[in-house]
Amino acid sequence: MKDSSLPDLGSSVDFVTLDIRVQGFSTSSTSDAGRMVLNVDEVEDPYLDGYCYLSLCILSICRFQFYYTTFGLFCQEKIRIALYVQKAALQFIDAGNRVEYKVSSEARDAGFGIHPDEIAAIVRGHDNKTLDDFGGVEAIVRKLSVSVDGGVSEESINIRQQIYGFNRYTEKPSRSFLMFVWDALQDLTLIILMVCSVVSIGIGIATEGWPKGTYDGVGIILSVFLVVIVTAVSDYKQSLQFRDLDKEKKKIFVQVTRDGKRQKISIYDIVVGDVVHLSTGDQVPADGLFLSGYFLLIDESSLSGESEPVNVDEEKPFLLSGTKVQDGQGKMLVTTVGMRTEWGKLMETLNEGGEDETPLQVKLNGVATIIGKIGLTFAILTFVVLTIRFLVEKALRGEFASWSSDDAMKLLDFFAIAVTIIVVAVPEGLPLAVTLSLAFAMKKLMNDKALVRHLSACETMGSASCICTDKTGTLTTNKMVVNKIWICENVIQIEGNESADKLKTCTSEGVLNILLQATFQNTSAEVVKGKDGKDTILGTPTESALLEFGCLLGDDFDAYSKRREYKILKVEPFNSVRKKMSVLVGLPDGGIRAFCKGASEIILKMCDKIIDCNGEVVDLPQDRANNVSDVINGFASEALRTLCLAFRDINETHEETNIPDGGYTLIALVGIKDPVRPGVKEAVQTCIAAGITVRMVTGDNIITARAIAKECGLLTEGGVAIEGPDFRDLSPEQMNQVIPKIQVMARSLPLDKHKLVTNLRNMFGEVVAVTGDGTNDAPALCEADIGLAMGIAGTEVAKENADVIIMDDNFTTIVNVVKWGRAVYINIQKFVQFQLTVNVVALVINFVSACITGSAPLTAVQLLWVNLIMDTLGALALATEPPNDGLLKRPPVARGANFITKPMWRNIIGQSIYQLIILAILNFDGKRLLGISGSDATKVLNTLIFNSFVFCQVFNEINSRDIEKINIFRGMFDSWIFLLIIFATLAFQVVIVEFLGTLASTVPLNWQFWLLSLLIGAVSMPIAAILKCIPVERDTSKQHHDGYEALPSGPELA
């Protein structure tokens, strides 16, 4: 049907063109968005009019395009276009046929006057027209039955969740254990072996009858089953660990007002109607409307792909879940939660696909591929040699024309051995070892207050050669208190109530009053009463320290300053670029006053007056300003953070909307004490011993920074302390000279930190770890090899851009991450050394034996058991070794260094030669040397070879615990996983040899042969000690940045 009242759009509609018609914008990416055509003539639906049907079709096309593009291509440009198109379609629907929403009786009874989907559509579609029709934000506040000042009541939370939903997103269901079993069964070589076992059972039953004919086949099946189960259990446990990690990553807290009290709650506990307080760096927890605030700048790039931030105010009040606050502060009313939000609808189609492979996994996958190809070559050669020998022998006996089922079984055995050689040769344990080691380290680090967000950070942290750290909260406790104040040209030490009384007596009432106004009016912190009735200060540590000091002087926060009588006209929040916070206040008498506080040097330059010792406002000439600078430097040399407080009264002629940048009167200078954390000095010394340079990058005064750096032990003789502005002015040649010596950078901007990190990486090839807590630290965190965000002081933006979150903001925890990173790297090296030794011996012994004797001493079942020992169990034993303090007494691994080192090759080749010599002697002359005779002599000898081979691997596993040191037993008895696997391997070996002979092609051995097997394996330990005495590489730990090795001097010369 076609309604004649419809505009003639032709027989087809290009949805991008439609978007231009409805939205009134043009895009150059029409071709990228794609073209979809709707034939209006074909519409035949008696229940829908033309507009409605057309609208729904367009919307579904747009949604399909949006989801398909987002899920399939993850292209931000396409997401942006698709979002515009979707918005246009929503407006098209609205113009053609607006949906009537009916509020349920349950919602009406609870006092709500708007349908969940209706308010969701208004905010998601940025529908100002419908919002105005309702009566604006104030009307929505009434319809949601909430108070802007008091927030929602605790009693209404349950009913709000029932009607408007929970703030949770639909997540992809976790994979069951059986799915991991199924994945493990997909291995091609295991599938081939299972086919071989089935064929073997069929031929065996036909020739040897039941049950004897099934033994070989059932043995292979049971071995495959064991490999699959162990692999599945390992993978399943890792998935559980990563799920726990994912839950930790999603723990975000926001501040809301409920029952008139400001409190911190989980993002998942947000309900519709909540009044949320937003500040720089926060993540918007749900869709909502702007209530009040200043300079609220929102980064919507995660949704729209637009890099330009959006100003949110009364005219543009819409806030979307998942976006970030780039600057400013404000309050928002939550209108939509969970799956009704724009972010929720996006998450319906975008489920996280798990971790990407780490660089080390990629590198080891390449190694595994090469080894696998070598194994495949050996397997084919082994099969060809065995088959040719068999055919030649058959021809020599004159039996080439007659074939029996026994001959078919022999050929099948040859094929099974060849396939099993591939199974042994393909080192699937390499990537498994990386994942196991990283998962183990991540779990332990989580317990040690470090949340690893990206797997690769764990291994990269082990190579870190430089740490650029913040001062506040990382090196210091972040528990700030006002320690000294300079006011009316007097310095007063603040130590409790007595000091406050002294300050009151020596300061006039007028000066005290203006000091308290500057403290209480110009603050982003707030004093709130908890459920226990006690006052709590919510805000940054610096703000909290000032507010606590103000409360010490002036009683009650609200009552003293009569905050309700003062009108906040404008606020410029503090950020790391401005380094100050300013506020414009309307006074009760009608006047206007500006307050400003911040970095002492910056505020001092803005002042042209000062309050003198008599409490009078006087001019501030240069000599007097120099005296103030001396006081600032004196405070800073005592490791105090210095802040200046200033005010300016503004006359009527001043443009009230702008906060002045000068003409202020200096009220006071405050010195805030932030003690150095216990253990930081020792942690810094540990880093220096480990070859890691620690650099402090702070926004503080350079004198304060120097004092703290010396206290921490990171500013050493010859080290440079530089200010950010001076650093920015350096030429590239000067930077090349200065950067290696920089140990402290003060008064730095985030861009200074970014520049330092970039040059350290590009000029000097350093592996750089950077700490950050603010929104502006995000570029440096992204640029660094490892970004470390602070869990307590850090903003959500910083955390999202970081690789590791330091949950307790402690520098000692960072050192712990380095130690675990090094443990991961060296544990994987240990495993690789162990596995490559097994690979070389298993491949060579089977191939050489096949060439010379026409049979392989190690059967398919035996090789599968060896494969299990060296892959899954070996990875579990060696890759989960805890770190030791010795790891921090060696230099970091250089960027681009070979993973398989010369000492590893030395150990691999040495052990392989020993094992091959012993096994070759047993294989070719064992019967004569050991006096083995009888009908089962060959079986006894092959069992002894198999047993000796396994014992060699067990002892080599112990040898691999340390690549370079002779003492391999250090810490072994503290690693219960390692001991458990060694004992379990030995116990199962006894079971296989003594009790599962039918399945494993073994016969029970006497105690002399068991002792011989044990001795053969044990001899590998003194051989390992001898090998480690062979020097294979020189010490390059003392090389300079220019690549030249330092000349030895003093004790080094000897």
Catalytic positions are 470
Chain center to CA of 950 = 40
β strands within 674-723, DSSP E: 693-697, 720-723
* Spatial separation of the C-alpha atoms in residues 836 and 845, rounded to whole Å: 14
Tell me the HSE value of 712 on the side-chain side, using a 13 A CA sphere. 34
38 phi and psi angles, rounded to 5 deg? -120, 120
State the Cα–Cα distance between residues 476 and 707, nearest whole angstrom: 12
* Strands 481-487 and 490-493, bridge-based pairing: antiparallel
594 with 636: CB under 8 angstroms?
Answer: no
Please state whether beta strands 804-806 and 450-452 pair in parallel, antiparallel, or not at all (unpaired): antiparallel
Residue 287: beta bridge partners?
Answer: 336
Mode of pairing for the β-strands spanning 786-790 and 768-772 = parallel
Tell me the C-alpha distance between 144 and 762, whole Å.
55
Q: Give the integer Cα–Cα distance in Å for 578 and 50.
A: 57
* Whether the Cβ atoms of residue 375 and residue 843 lie closer than 8 Å to each other: yes
Q: CB of 799 within 8 A of CB of 820?
A: no
Q: For the chain, how big is the Rg over CA atoms in Å? A: 37
Contacts 24+ apart (CB under 8 A), 269-272: 269/167, 270/167, 270/334, 270/337, 271/152, 271/157, 271/160, 271/161, 271/164, 271/167, 271/334, 271/337, 272/116, 272/119, 272/144, 272/160, 272/163, 272/164, 272/165, 272/334, 272/335, 272/336, 272/337
Q: How far apart are CA 332 and CA 275, in angstroms?
A: 6
Question: Can you tell me the distance from the alpha carbon of 796 to that of 280, in angstroms, rounded to the nearest whole number?
Answer: 9
Name every residue whose Cβ is closer than 8 Å to that of residue 531 and which is 6 or more positions away in sequence.
261
Closest CA to 9 of 33, 32, 43: 43
User: What value, to the nearest 5°, has the Cα angle with vertex 1041 and ends 1037 and 1044?
Assistant: 70
181: its two tokens: 């079993």
Q: From the CB of residue 728, how many other CB atoms can be counted at a distance below 10 Å?
A: 12
Q: Mention every residue, 6+ apart, whose C-beta is less than 8 A from residue 317.
A: 131, 137, 289, 290
Query: How many alpha carbons fall within 13 Å on the CB side of residue 698?
Result: 27
Inter-residue contact 200 to 434 (CB < 8 Å): no
Report DSSP letters for 68-121, one per residue.
Answer: HHHHHH--HHHHHHHHHHHHHHHHHHHHH-PPPP---HHHHHTT--S-HHHHHH
For residue 497, give both structure tokens.
């109530």
Q: Return d(Cα 296, Cα 280) in angstroms, integer.
A: 8
Which of 319, 321, 323, 312 minimizes the C-alpha distance to 341? 321
Q: Which residues contact 435 (CB under 8 A, 6 or more apart)?
A: 238, 361, 455
Rounded CA separation 904/837 (Å): 10
Of 699, 694, 707, residue with least CA distance to 723: 699
d(CA 958, CA 1017): 11
d(CA 830, CA 229): 25
In the chain, the amino acid numbered 728 is R
